[in-house]
Amino acid sequence: MSEKIPVKTVTPVNVHQPASTATKHHRSRSRIYVRAVKGPLETFRRFFGLFFLALFALIPWLQYDGHQAVLLDLAEQRFTLFALTLWPQDLTFLAYLFIVSAFALFFVTTFAGRVWCGFMCPQTTWVYLFTWFEEKIEGTRNKRIKLDERPMDADKFFRKTAKQFCWWAVAILTGLLFVGYFTPVQALFINFFTFDAGFWPTFWVVFFAVCTYGNAGYMREIMCTHICPYARFQSAMFDRDTYTVAYDAGRGESRGPRPRKLARSTVQEQGLGDCIDCNLCVQVCPTGIDIRNGLQYECINCGACVDACNGVMEKMNYPKGLIRFTSEEELAGGTTRVLRPKLIGYFVVLMLMTGVLVANFMLRLPLDVDIIRDRNSLYRETNDGLIENVYTLKIMNKSQREASYKIEVLGLPDYRFIGNQNIIVQGGEVATVPISVATDAYNLEDPVTEIQFRVSTQPEQASPVSLTEPSKFLYR
């Protein structure tokens, strides 16, 4: 027991630095070989990612009332979401949705750091999917390193080819599913594989397949560390009470290897902390950082280093949590304040904007009316001496079912309606209705009379809807 254990005192440094500051040419990016890890956080992250992957793959295939349940048809300028149809006039809903999503992201980041990046970001999910194929075909981390160092032979060629085939298959399937949100997915799959999809659908499928392949297969952590803007502005939302993945330096330093059978108290007497310097936390990190160097913008809070370190602590019979989700305040010996002004402010705004979004959806009418006056003549006099104005009504049925409407004129006494006063509009369609309104000149006191057109559903309709739009009746 009197054996002296070597102690390593480490000064935290930035692991991402050029090889030499004396030259303008920096060394090229070193490939990161991510080691597989097991643990509760990894299990949760995998099932969480698989759940959203399944949603992404299944939603385009869902059918509702005889049509694709989710179809963002840009060509027709119509978004179909189950029983809801959104038109360009409804873009305010999209703005509210973006605002709600932004404040939800701000709230979650202030509370738990970049958990969006580690658990829900599509980039992270697809990178782990591609890495899974890589590991199954080429082997574990050490085997992949040796395989890349080995000269090309039949085995290496077969493994690399099989990996590329799987990567491209996933990428093309991803491109097809993504484009399937914007065009009928069943026809897209059939036409794509029969080479009958047309230029633009094929172009976008190939475009998104190449992006998926490049991002998840090769760029990987570069997207998180250099391209994604979220990694840059996230620090504005952090404070001392934000929960992030962090290393407890007070407990772990000084670090160094030691026999597993040596008691923890004996190790501490010799000035050694709980960190055995196994570097597993670095090997499992998808961005290749050393969490022991402190908070770094490259960290995506995936928790892989937490599982790796807890596994080592369990084998050493040490308490878990050397690396854990904690706050800077807690690491300094204080108590984390969950309820604080910034977090409460984000929550209040989030709830307020969510309420506005829900209220707009609840108050939304499944009907829109646009009135266009005849621009060729302000008015005309009929053979029987009446003053006539000509209009064109655009009646949009925003629902997905056929509806029957009645057109009425308000504010004009003793008028004659010339045209179809009762109109049937199919679900999701726009009807163009040319009409004329005539009245005796004695009923007109001013050159311009303010009138209104009221379009309402017939009494037999299940859900009565009425919309009134202003217009003008001109004379002289």
pLDDT by residue for the chain (476 residues), tens only, comes to 445 555 555 554 444 343 333 333 434 457 889 999 999 999 999 999 999 999 999 999 999 988 899 999 988 888 888 888 888 878 888 899 999 999 999 999 999 988 888 998 999 999 999 999 999 999 999 999 999 999 999 999 999 999 999 999 999 999 999 999 999 999 999 999 999 988 999 999 999 999 999 999 999 988 888 888 887 777 778 889 999 999 999 999 889 898 888 888 888 888 899 999 999 999 999 999 999 998 888 889 999 999 999 999 999 999 999 999 999 999 988 999 999 999 999 999 999 999 999 998 888 888 889 999 988 888 899 888 899 999 999 999 888 888 899 999 999 988 999 999 999 998 888 899 999 999 999 888 889 999 999 999 887 676 788 999 999 999 87
Q: For residue 464, is it within any domain?
A: yes
Q: Same domain for 180 and 121?
A: yes
Q: What is the pLDDT of residue 7?
A: 55
Q: What is the pLDDT of residue 215?
A: 93
| Site of tokens 């738990």 | 112
DSSP 8-state secondary structure symbol assigned to residue 323:
E
Task: List the one residue out of 312, 286, 280, 283 whose CA is nearest residue 299.
Answer: 286
DSSP 8-state secondary structure symbol assigned to residue 459:
T
Q: Same domain for 279 and 382?
A: no
Domain that residue 261 falls in = 244-331
Q: What is the pLDDT of residue 16?
A: 39
Domain limit, last residue, from 184, 207, 237: 237
In sequence order, which residues have a C-beta less than 8 Å from that of residue 391 and are 6 or more positions away? 371, 372, 373, 374, 434, 435, 436, 437, 453, 471
Q: Same domain for 283 and 148?
A: no
Domain limit, last residue, from 206, 237, 268: 237
3-state DSSP call for residue 118? Answer: helix
Q: Same domain for 258 and 219?
A: no
Beta strands in 219-287 (DSSP E): 244-247
Q: For residue 13, is it within any domain?
A: no
| CA–CA gap between residue 275 and residue 252 (Å, rounded) | 5
| Site of tokens 């077969």 | 158
DSSP 8-state secondary structure symbol assigned to residue 61:
G
| CA–CA gap between residue 82 and residue 399 (Å, rounded) | 11
Q: For residue 187, is it within any domain?
A: yes
Q: For residue 23, is it within any domain?
A: no
**Alpha carbon distances (Å) from 269 to 106, 251, 254, 266, 314:** 44, 13, 12, 5, 21
Domain limit, last residue, from 183, 215, 237: 237
One-letter identity of residue 131: T
Q: Same domain for 285 and 166?
A: no
| CA–CA gap between residue 112 and residue 243 (Å, rounded) | 4
Q: How many domains does the chain have?
A: 3
Q: Same domain for 263 and 194?
A: no
Q: For residue 154, is it within any domain?
A: yes
- pTM as predicted: 0.81
